[in-house]
Amino acid sequence: IRQILQGICNPKPRRCHADWLYPNIAKWANESRISNNRLGELLGVTNTAVRNYMIGKRDLPKRVIDKLIEISGMTYEKLFEKPKEA
């Protein structure tokens, strides 16, 4: 029910992942409406660990990378693709 109401009550996607180093992961999380807390649950880590991984404070362990590939459906290359310079 919460997921259904979330789209009705908050139709605008959140931009809470704007400072992440990995734009494709941030875009996927925003479009999927996945919070740091929820991503932590999916990855089996704390929300603080998610934040530290995504802002580059800590290195991503292989098990977390593998889980990101599994839940996002993206390839390794797509997950960590850097934006093209203009």
Running along the chain, 86 residues long, what does each successive block of 10 average in pLDDT? 53 67 94 93 95 95 97 96 76
d(CA 73, CA 81): 14
DSSP code of residue 81: P
Q: Where are the beta strands (DSSP E) in 1-86?
A: none
d(CA 3, CA 84): 34
Q: Residue 8: what pLDDT?
A: 47
